Structure 1
Amino acid sequence: MSFVYFSPRVFPLLVLGFASGLPLALVSGTLQAWLTTTGSPEEQIGLLTLAGSAYTLKFLWAPLIDRYCLPFLGRRRGWMLLTQVLLAISLLLMSRLDPSTQLGLVFALAFWIAFLSATQDIAFDAYSTDVLQADERAAGAAVRVTGYRIGMIMSGGLAMVLAAQVGWENTYATMAAIMALMTLATLKAPEPEVQRRAPRSLYEAVQAPFTEFFSRRGALAMLLLIVLYKLGDSFASALSTTFLLREAGFSLEAVGYANKVVGLAATILGALLGGALMVPLGLYRALLLFGVLQAVSNFGYWYLSIQPESSIWLMGAVISIENLCGGLGTTAFVALVMALCNQSYSAAQFALLSALSAVGRTYLAGPLSGYMVKSFGWPSFFLSTVLIALPGLVMLWHYRSVIRDLDLGTRDSG
């Protein structure tokens, strides 16, 4: 397993995954911290997560990415390069705004950045599904999750550390420069060995992927499982930054360092360990074990919330465990999505499945969490996130035979 991580098709996914994950925190957790420091109420901060609607709705324009190819860098990398350039420009524009007086513009630009980021995700997801060989998919899932989470932590934890030192404006400008550098990885990434035919018409690009998917046994159940599997994790993390800053009383710099150093190490360990364990465990057992650990890790935030005075070491332990278990669960989840995708329609099907995974985070966890905290308090809120995780685990067990039938190496590649 260790050697496959250095495959010329697997290793580039680390950097490309980083580029894919970088914008997400900049319109969610990091922007949440920015608004928190300006004194915005929890309800307003929670509603800002609707800016992530693009991640939920990206399946609507994914067929366009399948159907139309840009005249440079192949079928997938051309779209990746274009979105990365536009993201760098947009993040630079964000650095020039003041949320305390230009909240409407912040909202509008956050929606635009999320749209560009979701479009980059569509192209990257399809590229990684197409470029990997069958025996590289578990490692590929682990590597891309590692890169993605590093990108999120870089624009989350590091951004908060930078903001404490140089201000939010310079922080967003720095993130824009980093995104611009990511275009070099796209230019150097290899093309898939098998070049797949683009759909002959837009109708084919829209109709065929969904017809093929819904013709399978247990298709609707798999869609619901995609929504539920990480729902408890999404609720626990929705206002975690606000909790650590406002309720637990940690400084912006302390939260940033904890996410950057401890969280980064735990995420890398979780993702790579998840990729290695999936080989002996198999897809179903990995999903079940990692899903249980993912749910149990939420008790850490509950325990932190009932402490009269929390130490920075306890915060670091909670963040470490949450990121470790989150890395395990996300690796198995990505492997499930890749297993469900027919490579002939990888952009549209991956977009549909990954967009569904964002339904809970965007339309449930984000908007509702602020009101739940206000009604029940932080300790009860974090306990409820463990219960929210249970339906996904029950459904996973109920449809275990469908998942066991999935073979990462035999999905028809057209």
Structure 2
Amino acid sequence: MKSIATVTAALTRHGITFLMGLAAGLPLLLTVSLLQAWMVDAGISLEAVGMLALLGVPYTLKFLWAPLLDRYELPILGRRRGWLALVQILLIALIVALALSDPALAPGWVALLALGISFLSASQDIVIDAYRREHLPERELGVGSSFYTYGYRIGMLLVSGGGMLMADAIGFGNTYLVMAAIMAGCLVVTLLAPEPHSHRPAERGRLRDTFIQPISNFLQRPGAWWLLLFILLYKLGDSVASNLTIPFYKAIGFSNAEIGATAKIFGFWPLLGGIFIGGLIILRLGIYRSLWWFGLLQMVSTAGFIWLNHVGHSIPALAAVVSFENAAAGMGTAAFLAFMAALTDKRFTAAQYALLSSIMGLPRAVISAPGGILAEAVGWDLFFLICTLVAIPGLAILWYFRQWRDITDGAR
């Protein structure tokens, strides 16, 4: 009877984690692909649509206000659920306002609403990451990261795939109303979920300390700067390579339809499979050893693009490379998120996790930008070889600091 109760409690925790991941993934593409399609259909210039990329800035700067969500506690629902409920209520309101707007008549107003959604979505990420770290036992962080990533990806798919289909059937405005209704369901999950144990009451000391203490606390641990460098480097090669996969596919002769069907829709399922298998392996091997194996798999999967460049236009070869790369990326992401969660001090969960996730996102958001210049200069073979070899420094740091296993052993 006790074991059944234990399993039920674990499933409940991971069910909540999955649904919160869905809530985090849903708003992301509401201000990217779906909004871009809406504005193009409304006749907005390509230059203006391109500027929508700036809506992603709050996701890279969220560490700036994350400490405030650690410091202050709202009078109801607790420190985590209180903020999460407020942010989700505001998100629903802005999504409804966007649904009732017209990009053709008021593009500036639509862009402002989208910026507000982006800021609130980044804030929601901060709170959900902190909630997951505090709600899950140490030994379940790896599996929990897999459930979270599952939900996150499905939330994105609801918007990128389902949203585009709905837009053709019922219009963009009604599609955004449907997305607001789904967010309302996520709000219900927040209201019903338990509040995790608070490891530090909201403080009323100097505001300056709110921003300094989380960083100084992290930097005081041995090898802190090496930890930050590892977080920057671990998925660097994978991120730089994946940033240019679409131009690469087109360069070797694949059509848009072939890329969409094979690389996007077909490749989605190996990604989910990789996340699931990664969670099971983490449970068995622990986070540290999993990072090793998944890092090596990411290297091999990146090198697969070199092979594809020599095979040329072949749907089976494209499917094989995409499947392997997505599966390896899913495994690596599950272990990486669990590793970052294990690094955070529960007194400063929101601030420290936001800082680490911002560093993790630098390769994708900033460092990948000049990748096209490199590929143009050296060719695809050497470009992907460089991306493969770039993974070695991160793995070397992981090998040298074997004592990091002590940090993650409790998360097995």
* Shared fold per TM-score greater than 0.5: yes
Question: Matched residues, percent identical?
Answer: 41
Instruction: From 146, 151, 155, give the equivalent of 1:147.
Output: 151
Aligned to 1:403: 404
Confirm or deny: 8 A CA contact 2:199 2:347 kept in the other structure: no
Confirm or deny: 8 A CA contact 1:81 1:186 kept in the other structure: yes
Greater displacement, 217-226 / 112-121: 112-121
Shift of 1:164: 6.4
Shift of 1:342: 0.9
Instruction: From 14, 20, 31, give the equivalent of 1:16.
Output: 20
**2-side partners of 1:185 and 1:48: how far apart?**
31
Report Cα offsets for 1:219-261 as digits up to 9, x if no partner: 0111111111122222233354566689732339x7278645x
**2-side partners of 1:69 and 1:382: how far apart?**
47
Aligned to 2:223: 218
Distance change >3 Å, CA 109–CA 209, structure 1 → 2 = same
Confirm or deny: 8 A CA contact 2:39 2:103 kept in the other structure: no
Shift of 1:66: 0.8
Query: TM-score, with normalisation over the residues of structure 2?
Result: 0.81
**2-side partners of 1:3 and 1:363: how far apart?**
42
Aligned to 2:214: 209
Shift of 1:116: 1.5
Distance change >3 Å, CA 382–CA 51, structure 1 → 2 = farther
Aligned pairs for 1:301-340 within 5 A: 301=305, 309-311=313-315, 314-340=317-343
Secondary structure (helix, strand or coil) at the match of 1:70 reads coil
Aligned to 2:75: 71
Aligned pairs for 1:9-408 within 5 A: 9-28=13-32, 49-92=53-96, 96=101, 98=103, 109-162=113-166, 171-193=175-197, 196-201=200-205, 202-240=207-245, 248-251=254-257, 255=260, 259-260=264-265, 262-301=266-305, 309-311=313-315, 314-365=317-368, 367-372=369-374, 381-399=383-401, 401-408=402-409
Confirm or deny: 8 A CA contact 1:137 1:408 kept in the other structure: no
Greater displacement, 70-79 / 349-358: 70-79
The one-letter amino acid paired with 2:366 is Y
**1-side partners of 2:311 and 2:40: how far apart?**
22
Secondary structure (helix, strand or coil) at the match of 2:148 reads helix
Secondary structure (helix, strand or coil) at the match of 1:120 reads helix
Query: TM-score, with normalisation over the residues of structure 1?
Result: 0.81
Distance change >3 Å, CA 63–CA 376, structure 1 → 2 = same
**2-side partners of 1:206 and 1:25: how far apart?**
30
**1-side partners of 2:63 and 2:299: how far apart?**
28
Shift of 1:304: 5.1
The one-letter amino acid paired with 1:228 is L
**2-side partners of 1:179 and 1:256: how far apart?**
28
Confirm or deny: 8 A CA contact 1:227 1:359 kept in the other structure: yes
Confirm or deny: 8 A CA contact 1:233 1:298 kept in the other structure: yes
**2-side partners of 1:150 and 1:82: how far apart?**
23
Shift of 1:27: 4.2
Report Cα offsets for 1:85-136 as digits up to 9, x if no partner: 333344455565659x987767655543332111101111111111122332
Distance change >3 Å, CA 112–CA 340, structure 1 → 2 = same
Secondary structure (helix, strand or coil) at the match of 1:191 reads coil
**2-side partners of 1:350 and 1:186: how far apart?**
20
Report Cα offsets for 1:31-89 as digits up to 9, x if no partner: 677899999989x95x7545323222211101110111223321111221222233334
Confirm or deny: 8 A CA contact 1:94 1:172 kept in the other structure: yes
Confirm or deny: 8 A CA contact 2:102 2:110 kept in the other structure: yes
Secondary structure (helix, strand or coil) at the match of 1:353 reads helix
Greater displacement, 376-385 / 52-61: 376-385
Name structure 2 gaps, 5 residues minimum.
none
Distance change >3 Å, CA 374–CA 243, structure 1 → 2 = same
**2-side partners of 1:129 and 1:167: how far apart?**
39
Distance change >3 Å, CA 54–CA 376, structure 1 → 2 = farther
Shift of 1:403: 1.7
**2-side partners of 1:11 and 1:166: how far apart?**
31
Name structure 1 gaps, 5 residues minimum.
none
Greater displacement, 153-162 / 101-110: 101-110
Confirm or deny: 8 A CA contact 1:58 1:119 kept in the other structure: yes
Q: Which structure: larger Rg?
A: 2
**2-side partners of 1:281 and 1:218: how far apart?**
23
Greater displacement, 190-199 / 327-336: 190-199
**2-side partners of 1:362 and 1:300: how far apart?**
23
**2-side partners of 1:119 and 1:360: how far apart?**
21
Shift of 1:325: 1.4
